[in-house]
Amino acid sequence: MTSFAVLIEGPVLQGQSFVSALRFMQQALEAGHSVDSVFLYRDAVGAASALIDLPSDEPNLSATLQQFCQAHQIPLLFCITAAEKRGVCSNEVKPADGYLAAGLAEFAMRLAKADKLVQFS
Protein backbone atom coordinates (compact mmCIF):
# COMPACT_ATOMS: atom_id res chain seq x y z
CA MET A 1 0.00 0.00 0.00
CA THR A 2 1.37 3.39 -1.02
CA SER A 3 0.59 6.68 0.67
CA PHE A 4 0.29 9.70 -1.59
CA ALA A 5 0.48 13.43 -1.08
CA VAL A 6 -1.33 15.39 -3.79
CA LEU A 7 -0.22 18.83 -4.96
CA ILE A 8 -2.58 20.82 -7.20
CA GLU A 9 -1.34 24.00 -8.88
CA GLY A 10 -3.73 24.69 -11.76
CA PRO A 11 -6.77 26.97 -11.51
CA VAL A 12 -10.05 25.43 -10.42
CA LEU A 13 -12.18 27.16 -13.06
CA GLN A 14 -10.14 26.12 -16.11
CA GLY A 15 -7.92 23.28 -17.16
CA GLN A 16 -7.92 19.68 -16.03
CA SER A 17 -5.86 19.71 -12.84
CA PHE A 18 -8.78 19.37 -10.40
CA VAL A 19 -10.62 16.77 -12.49
CA SER A 20 -7.44 14.74 -12.93
CA ALA A 21 -6.55 14.97 -9.23
CA LEU A 22 -10.01 13.83 -8.18
CA ARG A 23 -9.91 10.88 -10.59
CA PHE A 24 -6.44 9.90 -9.41
CA MET A 25 -7.42 10.02 -5.73
CA GLN A 26 -10.60 8.02 -6.30
CA GLN A 27 -8.69 5.31 -8.18
CA ALA A 28 -5.88 5.26 -5.61
CA LEU A 29 -8.33 4.74 -2.75
CA GLU A 30 -10.20 2.06 -4.69
CA ALA A 31 -6.89 0.24 -5.23
CA GLY A 32 -6.23 0.22 -1.48
CA HIS A 33 -3.73 3.07 -1.32
CA SER A 34 -4.07 6.13 0.89
CA VAL A 35 -4.04 9.86 0.26
CA ASP A 36 -2.47 11.60 3.23
CA SER A 37 -3.13 15.20 2.19
CA VAL A 38 -4.05 17.55 -0.62
CA PHE A 39 -2.18 20.83 -0.91
CA LEU A 40 -3.34 23.67 -3.15
CA TYR A 41 -0.62 26.00 -4.41
CA ARG A 42 -0.29 28.85 -6.91
CA ASP A 43 -3.54 29.40 -8.87
CA ALA A 44 -5.20 26.35 -7.31
CA VAL A 45 -5.71 28.30 -4.08
CA GLY A 46 -8.68 29.97 -5.78
CA ALA A 47 -10.67 26.84 -4.93
CA ALA A 48 -10.51 27.81 -1.25
CA SER A 49 -12.48 30.98 -1.89
CA ALA A 50 -15.84 31.17 -0.16
CA LEU A 51 -16.91 33.61 -2.89
CA ILE A 52 -17.12 31.12 -5.76
CA ASP A 53 -20.59 31.42 -7.28
CA LEU A 54 -21.06 29.36 -10.44
CA PRO A 55 -24.10 28.96 -12.69
CA SER A 56 -26.00 25.79 -11.90
CA ASP A 57 -24.95 24.13 -15.18
CA GLU A 58 -21.21 24.34 -14.37
CA PRO A 59 -19.50 21.79 -12.14
CA ASN A 60 -18.31 23.17 -8.80
CA LEU A 61 -14.97 21.39 -8.53
CA SER A 62 -14.12 23.34 -5.40
CA ALA A 63 -17.11 21.87 -3.58
CA THR A 64 -16.55 18.43 -5.12
CA LEU A 65 -12.95 18.36 -3.87
CA GLN A 66 -14.00 19.54 -0.41
CA GLN A 67 -16.72 16.88 -0.17
CA PHE A 68 -14.38 14.14 -1.40
CA CYS A 69 -11.68 15.06 1.10
CA GLN A 70 -14.20 15.31 3.93
CA ALA A 71 -15.75 11.95 3.08
CA HIS A 72 -12.33 10.26 3.09
CA GLN A 73 -10.88 12.28 5.99
CA ILE A 74 -8.10 13.75 3.85
CA PRO A 75 -6.70 17.10 5.05
CA LEU A 76 -7.38 19.75 2.40
CA LEU A 77 -4.75 22.46 2.74
CA PHE A 78 -4.08 25.61 0.78
CA CYS A 79 -1.03 27.85 0.77
CA ILE A 80 -1.94 30.89 2.83
CA THR A 81 0.72 33.10 1.20
CA ALA A 82 -0.47 32.28 -2.33
CA ALA A 83 -4.09 32.81 -1.24
CA GLU A 84 -3.38 36.21 0.29
CA LYS A 85 -1.50 37.32 -2.84
CA ARG A 86 -4.53 36.39 -4.95
CA GLY A 87 -7.15 37.90 -2.64
CA VAL A 88 -8.66 34.51 -1.85
CA CYS A 89 -8.57 35.11 1.89
CA SER A 90 -7.66 37.88 4.27
CA ASN A 91 -8.75 39.20 7.64
CA GLU A 92 -12.12 40.09 6.08
CA VAL A 93 -12.53 37.17 3.66
CA LYS A 94 -12.45 33.69 5.18
CA PRO A 95 -11.81 30.48 3.21
CA ALA A 96 -14.59 28.09 2.22
CA ASP A 97 -15.60 25.41 4.71
CA GLY A 98 -13.30 22.43 4.75
CA TYR A 99 -10.24 24.28 3.45
CA LEU A 100 -7.38 24.69 5.91
CA ALA A 101 -4.74 27.41 5.61
CA ALA A 102 -1.16 26.14 5.79
CA GLY A 103 2.33 27.17 4.90
CA LEU A 104 4.93 25.44 2.78
CA ALA A 105 6.65 24.21 5.95
CA GLU A 106 3.53 22.26 6.98
CA PHE A 107 3.24 20.85 3.47
CA ALA A 108 6.91 19.75 3.65
CA MET A 109 6.33 18.01 6.99
CA ARG A 110 3.32 16.15 5.62
CA LEU A 111 5.21 15.33 2.43
CA ALA A 112 7.98 13.68 4.49
CA LYS A 113 5.41 11.18 5.79
CA ALA A 114 4.08 10.21 2.34
CA ASP A 115 5.63 7.64 0.05
CA LYS A 116 5.01 9.60 -3.14
CA LEU A 117 4.02 13.05 -4.31
CA VAL A 118 1.67 13.40 -7.27
CA GLN A 119 1.48 16.89 -8.83
CA PHE A 120 -1.28 18.31 -11.02
CA SER A 121 -0.53 21.57 -12.84
Residues with catalytic roles = 79
d(CA 76, CA 57): 25
Does the CA dihedral 27-96-42-11 come out positive or negative?
positive
Beta strands in 2-75 (DSSP E): 3-8, 34-40
Q: Could you tell me which of 14, 7, 22 has the C-alpha nearest to residue 67?
A: 22
Which run of H or of E encompasses 64?
A: helix 61-71
